[in-house]
Amino acid sequence: MCDTPPYNIEKIEDYEQYFTDDSTSKAIDYNRWLKCLWDDINKKNIDLANIDKQITNWSNDKSNDDTATELNNYSMALYQADLKYTFGKIIFFIILVIVYIYFFKVNGIIEPILKLLNFMKTKITVDLPLATEKVIKNMPKVPEIKTS
């Protein structure tokens, strides 16, 4: 009784294939199909007492996944807001310094900075190459090792 399709179908793909096949009759005895399903469940010894627990566990896992996704999105939004705030503060500080120097003519701050930059520039471009040439000229000659 339960050995013929569609009563012995266990997978949804097989069930869909059964209904796409034109040679089969489309009428299904619902009560017979339900009896075959219950017989199959009893044959496989499925513990129906734990189904509620499994559904609850799945529901809890699903809600935990949703909560984790929501927290990830929220923390990303906070991170982006903090990043915008930080860059805004840096740009504001730079503009504030430029305005302060422009309006108050603070030469006492600018001149030492320019002198320091010129000093570093001359050390890098002039003194460093001269020092390397001097070191190269004064290097002791290493005796050659002859192999014969």
In the 3-class helix/strand/coil scheme, how is 71-127 assigned residue by residue? HHHHHHHHHHHHHHHHHHHHHHHHHHHHHHHHHHCCHHHHHHHHHHHHHHHHHHHHH
pLDDT greater at residue 75 or residue 10:
75
Does residue 133 surpass a pLDDT of 80?
yes
Q: Give 123 or 44, the one with higher predicted confidence.
A: 123
Locate the domains of the chain by residue range.
1-46, 53-130
Predicted confidence band of residue 36 (pLDDT cuts 50, 70, 90): confident
Q: Is the pLDDT of residue 81 over 90?
A: yes
Question: Please, are residues 85 and 78 in contact by the beta-carbon 8 Å criterion?
Answer: no
Amino acid type, 49: A
Tokens found for residue 9 = 């179908």
Give CA–CA dist 20/124, Å, rounded: 82
Tokens of 3: 């050995």
Closest CA to 83 of 94, 91, 93: 91
At 25 the pLDDT is 60
Measured distance CA(129)–CA(123) in Å, rounded:
9
Mean pLDDT of 37-63: 77
Q: How far apart are CA 104 and CA 112, in angstroms?
A: 17
> Dmax over Cα atoms in the chain, in whole Å?
105
